[in-house]
Amino acid sequence: MLHRPRYEEASGPLPGMARVSADGTVERLDGVGADLRGRPLLARAATALLRSGRDAVTFMAVERSAEPEAERPSERSAERSPDRDALWVHVSMTVARETGDVMVSAAEVAPPYELTPRELDVLTLLAGGLTNTAVAGYLGTSPRTVSKQVESVLAKLGQATRSGVAAFAVDHGLLRLPVPGGCPELTALAVGAVDRLMREPGPLPRFATAGVAPRRPATPYEIGLLLPLVGASSEDGEQMRRGAELAVEELNARGGVAGRPVRTHVSAVDSLDADSVTAGLAELAARQVPAIVGGYLLTDERASYELAADYGAPYLNIGTSDLQAEWVRDEPGRFGRIFQTGPTRGNYGRGFARFLEGVRLRRPSVGFVETTMPDTQTFSEETARLVGRAGLGIDFLVRLEPPHDDWSRALRAIREHAPGAVMVTHHVPEQAAAFQRAFAQEPSPTLVYMVYTPAVPQFLELAGQAAEGVVWATVTGRYGDSRGRAFAERFARRYGAAPGRSVASAAYDQINLLALAWSAHGRPHDFGLVARDLRTIVYRGVNGAYDLDRGGQTSVAFPDEIPDPSLGQAHLVFQIQGGRHRVIGPTPYAEGTFRQPPWMNAQQ
């Protein structure tokens, strides 16, 4: 079943935005602001937030809709579910430290992930670490019933563990207020702290009588986007730009961050040109952006990261650099605000060897084709050891020299040795497609296994039918679960084309991860504080889980670096089948099974 996106707007009116002052005065903002007169719970929650000392709280409120005159309870059909009359409201409250007011953003939504009100109760109590028996006690039901509801919640949210679903609920504002039964175990969370104070005597909300208050001008928080929109990686750069843009639009539709809208400033660079990257970073530093979100860089990595470190703002990038992780580990004082949101490229060799253990090859040997650019090199001593442990020999290693567009030596080696599989690494989709078209003209019984590049939509367009059967992998990719499908649908509606399977959703996740860190305290220009929050957050995005509090400040790969999928990103292996990318591993995320490529079947 396809679940709804995180928050899908209902057809009814949107409450919008309001401001609540310390004395309990509630004002609507502009003509579309929230009128909280009919929602005293929200007004009391705002004043309780101020008393709690917390900076922000996000939660779900489930209300009864007004009863239509023609449909009183006594006249309602017995078959009608009471849940159909529930109004779900997603609420975000942030303390504006400069004024001492609470900015309240509220929107009526469809039940997120098709949860029922009782499942929302169960989910909220799970976030407090309660057992099924304890949950049943607060809800006045049986542990057996709660057990079934927990199973349903896990399935709907696509989580495997109770801890995973609890973290998911906190990250995405899926906790209910008031807290079911006033459960004191939740007071460590913002929702629980606000709930406790709401239950204590306090000032009643007062509604302004002077009409609608004008919205105070709010200076947007600006995110600098350092994207490879020029040169060979421009198609990938456009994917990143669109993913980031979609995330910002959705953030602003929910009220922005800390009561302010978010905007982006794009610095277009050539990832292969060091001077271009230098100029791009200097441009963003001159604008004094509070954070930089970027793609991968194929030029001198060290020089780029030193420039970013000199500026000092948090820098999140989609690279897979083992070198960057090493620098951050060795020099945390200098590079401690630089984060790599994908696992490192060293995982590609591990994933290749692991995949081959489950596949029957024509010959027990492999070959490697990569370029002299460090960012494309996946062959290492560890890779050779793991391939040998899988019972396979290594026939050749070919490294393409600049300008990295002559495949003749690689094709000769493949046709001469006919290895059981060949790992091909080239980050430019035109060149990867050119290799596959040339290979298909005179194929050997060799499985072609590529790294990352088929994730760019341009690859499939250029390779055409020759791509059928190609296997490829990425250490950060869009899952095929309900969250991944919902993102792809929203992206396609916005841009008229489906996203690729990697960087569009990665950029989308980066923006949301950064916004989550900002919303914790509402001080984006406190670079050190934001970096600390980025290290402590565990965020489940479209591309899996982001847990950056590890050596090197990178995400980690499941299953090769971490056995818990709720704390890592799956190293996804795809195969092009019927002109579509289908996940064939690892098992929890598989959408299909491996098939022998057509050129190998033709040679049987």
Predicted confidence at residue 575, as pLDDT, reads: 97
Tokens for 382, please give them. Answer: 């560890």
Q: Are strands 471-474 and 447-451 parallel, antiparallel or unpaired?
A: parallel
Q: Predicted confidence band at 460 (pLDDT cuts at 50, 70, 90)?
A: very high
Q: Predicted confidence band at 11 (pLDDT cuts at 50, 70, 90)?
A: very low
Assess whether the previous peptide bond of 403 is cis (omega < 30° from 0): yes
Average pLDDT score over residue span 563-579: 94
Lowest mean pLDDT among 204-213, 391-400, 505-514, 520-529: 204-213
Question: What phi, psi does 78 have (nearest 5°)?
Answer: -65, -20
Q: Is the pLDDT of residue 339 over 90?
A: yes
Average pLDDT score over residue span 389-412: 93
Cα(91)–Cα(83) distance, integer angstroms: 19
Where would I find the beta strands (DSSP E) of 211-350?
221-230, 262-270, 291-294, 315-317, 338-340
Q: Is the pLDDT of residue 6 over 70?
A: no
Predicted confidence at residue 264, as pLDDT, reads: 95
Pick the most confident of 104-113, 130-139, 470-479. 470-479
Q: How many CB atoms lie within 10 A of CB 266?
A: 19
Question: What phi, psi does 353 have (nearest 5°)?
Answer: -65, -40
Q: How far apart are the first and last CA of the chain?
A: 39
Tokens for 263, please give them. Answer: 């905007």
129: left (phi over 0), alpha (psi -120 to 50) or beta: left
Predicted confidence at residue 74, as pLDDT, reads: 39
Using alpha carbons, select from 307, 300, 298, 305 the residue that is nearest to residue 279.
Answer: 307
Question: What phi, psi does 572 have (nearest 5°)?
Answer: -80, 135
Task: Assess contact for 506 and 515: CB atoms under 8 A.
Answer: no
Using alpha carbons, select from 255, 320, 242 the residue that is nearest to residue 507.
Answer: 242
Using alpha carbons, select from 455, 390, 446 the residue that is nearest to residue 423.
Answer: 446
Tokens for 311, please give them. Answer: 């500026």
Helix boundaries (H) for 378-421: 381-389, 408-417
Percent of the residues in the chain that have a pLDDT greater than 70, as a whole number: 86
Q: How many CB atoms lie within 10 A of CB 601?
A: 11
Instruction: Read off the pLDDT of residues 178-197 as tens digits, 9 standing for 90 and up.
Output: 999 888 888 888 898 899 88
Predicted confidence at residue 78, as pLDDT, reads: 39
Q: For residue 9, what are the β-bridge partners?
A: 109
Q: How many CB atoms lie within 10 A of CB 586?
A: 18
Cross-sheet strand order for the sheet of 206-207: 56-64, 86-96, 101-109, 16-20, 25-28, 206-207
Cα(474)–Cα(493) distance, integer angstroms: 25
C-alpha atoms less than 13 angstroms from C-alpha of 65 in its C-beta half-sphere: 18
Cα(85)–Cα(178) distance, integer angstroms: 19
Q: Is the pLDDT of residue 565 over 80?
A: yes
Q: If you search the block for the tokens 């302004």, which residue do you land on?
A: 208
Tokens for 88, please give them. Answer: 């779900």
Task: Assess contact for 56 and 94: CB atoms under 8 A.
Answer: yes
Cα 276 to Cα 222, 242, 282, 298, 402, distances in angstroms: 21, 21, 10, 12, 19
Average pLDDT score over residue span 448-459: 95
- As a whole number of Å, the CA-based R_g of the chain is 26
The model carries a pTM of 0.68
Helix boundaries (H) for 418-477: 429-441, 457-463
Mean pLDDT of the chain: 85
Residue type, 247: A
Q: For residue 447, what are the β-bridge partners?
A: 421
Residue type, 472: W
Predicted confidence at residue 387, as pLDDT, reads: 94
Tokens for 102, please give them. Answer: 């609470």
Q: Are strands 86-96 and 101-109 parallel, antiparallel or unpaired?
A: antiparallel
38-59 as b/e: b if 16+ CB within 10 A:
ebebbbbbbbbbbbbebbbbbb
Task: Assess contact for 593 and 584: CB atoms under 8 A.
Answer: yes
Cα(430)–Cα(410) distance, integer angstroms: 16
Question: What is the H or E stretch that residue 423 is in?
Answer: strand 421-424
DSSP state letter for 518 = H
Average pLDDT score over residue span 202-222: 57
Question: What is the H or E stretch that residue 355 is in?
Answer: helix 346-356
Q: Predicted confidence band at 388 (pLDDT cuts at 50, 70, 90)?
A: very high
C-alpha atoms less than 13 angstroms from C-alpha of 200 in its C-beta half-sphere: 12
Task: Assess contact for 599 and 469: CB atoms under 8 A.
Answer: yes
Average pLDDT score over residue span 515-524: 84
Q: How many residues does the chain have?
A: 604
Instruction: Read off the pLDDT of residues 287-322 as tens digits, 9 standing for 90 and up.
Output: 999 999 998 876 666 888 888 999 999 999 998 888
